[in-house]
A and B are shown apart, each in its own frame.
Chain A
Amino acid sequence: MRHLLDTRTLTRDEAILILDIAEDMSATQQREVKKLPTLRGKTIVNLFYEDSTRTRISFEAASKRLSADVINFSAKGSSVSKGESLKDTAQTLQAIGADGVVIRHPASGAPAMLASSGWIDAGVLNAGDGTHEHPTQALLDAFTMRRRLFGENSRGRDLDGISVVIVGDIMHSRVARSNLWLLKVLGANVSFVAPETLLPYGTREWPVTIYHSLDTAIREANPDVIMLLRIQTERMHAAFFPNEREYARNWGLNDVRVAGLQDRTIIMHPGPMNRGLEISAGAADSERSTVLEQVANGVSVRMAALYLLLSGERGESA
């Protein structure tokens, strides 16, 4: 694999390959010595134009466990705030000799631009771009589902026929989009639940069932997985819903709704959580919740992605 930019163009086989390698990576994380020599001598740059502590430390942990050298670059306080363009930054990284660039950018498409520009030879890994995609998040979610559903027999499996309900701010969520494309290619049935104001234009053309009521969705979609999205107060520049209490009442996963779920249904959240808003403390701390597993699995999935991107001859397409 040359770059990992989105999940929309991933094939089923590629997705399963990444998840299977993540299984092996996860097995190494149970050992006393967690570090592998795999990417010794490689340099990975975490190029973060947007603040994100958890994604950055997850990538940093993944790179370090593979013995790569990590350079963290945050736009704040860097030459970017002095007006340096993405092109100049990329050329600087090229001169430093970066083998891989993990990029988080507020503009949708920035990683694709970096990958296709010819400014830099390094493998580009999208760590979230605007409202477009966040592929490693979707992969770690799929990995977590597969683990919970199939346990030891996960290897090689897809998610055929699994019902996944994604609730919340679909419009601003790259996680929802990346998950939709990946879950579709793995064979799952996806439903979105959100107030009409938080559904992006064109959603009805996507391969997804849309509900406005969480209770109806739980009744009709019979979910194996409920995924709550964070209400991103920093992106709420307009009145998308009347107030937080009303949101919590209509679209929040409260204890009553949790009690009505089937035994096997798991609760996922990409974090950080707004307890009491999209998820109740009871739901977040219950046995069903996979929030911390998702964090741990994130490191394994990112190790797999970095391994696939940086091993093998640079420049080959396979």
Chain B
Amino acid sequence: MKETRTVLESADISRALTRISHEIVESNKGVDGLVLVGIPTRGTILAQRIAEIISRIDGSTPVAVGSLDITLYRDDLARNPMRPSQPTEMPVTGIDGTTVVLVDDVLFSGRTVRSALDALNDHGRPKVVRLAALIDRGHRELPIRADFIGKNLPSAKDERISVRLEELDGEDSVTIS
């Protein structure tokens, strides 16, 4: 049994999200045409939190938040155990011509993001797609890079990174084991 080490605590997570939010507003030059799309389950929660922080920073209209299930777009369905799909909810105004920021908790092989890009394609044609991840742990299998990163966390391939969030797990923390 490997020891479990806490990498980020509640305050660190909230600082990281605040920084990501500022970076998003800065690179988009405001919140016009901005849509945050989380990848379930924890990506969706993070997208909602970032949207709240952005509306505090900017003080204007709330940022549209969506949730994009990528289960049906995965390229490894035959290799892994069956996983149930989850609801996809997109802003009613659609994503055509918008700046979509995909939000996920951990960026690893890049395959989830590839699936998400495919899935996004079926919903419309955004002007720009950016990627935000709370943790980038490396080991990419595809040429994918995040635009906004909470923390770079070099890890061994067999290590396990767990992101726990208040809304779902009762506490905020990132652990490595």
Contacts and interface: CB of A to CB of B under 8 A. Distances in A.
A38 B82 CA distance: 12
A311 interface: yes
A17 B84 contact: yes
Interface string A59-80: 0000000100000000000000
A9 B100 CA distance: 45
Nearest to B90: A31
Interface string B66-105: 0001001100011111111111100000000000000000
Contacts of A25: 85
B84 A27 contact: no
Contacts of B69: 24
Nearest to B94: A32
Given A38-B73, A313-B78, A27 B123 contact: no
A36 B85 CA distance: 13
A21 interface: yes
A316 B83 CA distance: 13
A312 B72 contact: no
Given A17-B84, A24-B88, A37-B118, A307 B72 contact: yes
A17 B71 CA distance: 15
A312 B122 contact: no
B84 A38 contact: no
Nearest to A155: B87
B122 A33 contact: yes
Nearest to A303: B72
Size bracket, chain A contacts: 20 to 34
A20 B73 contact: no
A312 B87 contact: no
A121 interface: no
Given A36-B72, A37-B73, A307-B72, A312 B84 contact: no
Interface in A282-318: 307-308, 311-314, 316, 318
Nearest to B124: A32
B169 to A, nearest CB: 20
A32 B124 CA distance: 9
A21 B77 contact: no
A23 interface: yes
Interface string A11-53: 0000001001101110110011101111100000000000000
Contact of B85 (A24, A35, A39): A24
Main secondary structure of the interface of A (DSSP, over half): loop
Contacts of A37: 72-73, 118
A63 B85 CA distance: 17
Contact of A27 (B73, B80, B87, B121): B87
Nearest to B77: A311
Contacts of B122: 28, 31-33, 35-36
Contacts of B72: 24, 28, 36-38, 66, 307
Contacts of A314: 78
Given A24-B87, A155-B87, A36 B77 contact: no
Contacts of B73: 36-38
A312 B123 contact: no
Interface string B30-61: 00000000000000000000000000000000
Given A21-B85, A36-B72, A37-B73, A312 B118 contact: no
A307 B69 CA distance: 15
A41 B139 CA distance: 27
Most buried by A among B77, B84, B85, B124: B85
Contacts of B121: 33
B130 to A, nearest CB: 22
Contact of B87 (A23, A31, A36, A38): A23
B82 A312 contact: yes
Nearest to B87: A24
A1 B82 CA distance: 8
Given A37-B118, A38-B72, A307-B72, A27 B79 contact: no
Nearest to A42: B78
Most buried by A among B84, B88, B123: B84
Given A21-B84, A31-B123, 11 more contacts: A17-B84, A20-B84, A24-B88, A32-B122, A33-B121, A36-B72, A307-B85, A311-B78, A312-B82, A313-B81, A316-B81
8 A-B pairs with the lowest CB-CB distances in the bound complex, closest first: A312-B82, A311-B77, A33-B122, A24-B85, A38-B72, A36-B72, A311-B82, A312-B81
9 contacts: A21-B85, A24-B87, A27-B88, A36-B73, A36-B122, A37-B72, A38-B72, A38-B73, A155-B87
